[in-house]
Amino acid sequence: MAPRPPRNPLTTAASIVAVTLVAGLFGLLAWRVATTARGSSLAAALAEGDRPAAPGFELPLLDGRGTLDLADLKGRPVVLNFWASWCEPCKAEAPRLQAAAERYPDLVVVGVNSQDFEGDARKFVSRYGVTYRNVHDRSGAVLKKFGATGFPETWFVDRDGRLAFRRIEGEVTEATLAQGAAALGVR
């Protein structure tokens, strides 16, 4: 039997890189499945009539004046609206959310701008006259915690920090806002 020729060091390095890349992709897939499952379980629990705890977060305010921690809003009913500046239904619903923030003074409306450029988000807030609080979730980590799959998506959080109602993908209507406010005990 003839001796094998020595392996090319570049081939060995390329093999190591390929194996590492595949392992990393599997790890990323496992993480994505785990985080999506958490969000899906929130939606499933709501559908069954449960009120699961809202996932916590602390994000920078779009106006640059610090951060907003969801835990600090405990004791107050909250509407969380996930949006992006490039989302057409988000543009249509922004005036409705602004009107709800004005109509229901006991209700805290929070916009969660996600997977978007901060400058584009600020222009959106200015263009649509939005004065309720908005935070920036650039990476989409909070979006994933909630299991949101698209924009816009709106969640209603009760005074105890528990999820009470959800509007799945699609612009929120005045009727949905009224229904969510009622679910939170806000008139």
Domain 46-183, what fold?
Answer: Glutaredoxin (3.40.30)
Tell me what pLDDT residue 12 has: 67
Residue partners of 123: CB distance under 8 A and separation at least 6 = 85
pLDDT at position 26: 43
pLDDT for residue 15 = 65
State in Å, rounded, how far the first CA of the chain is from the last one. 88
Q: How confident is the model at residue 22 (pLDDT cuts 50, 70, 90)?
A: low
Q: Average per-residue pLDDT in the chain?
A: 85
Task: Please tell me the predicted confidence (pLDDT) of residue 43.
Answer: 80
- For residue 119, the Cα-to-chain-centroid distance in whole angstroms is 18
* Main-chain phi, psi angles of 154, to 5 degrees: -125, 130
pTM of the model: 0.76
Residue 21 has pLDDT above 60, yes or no: no
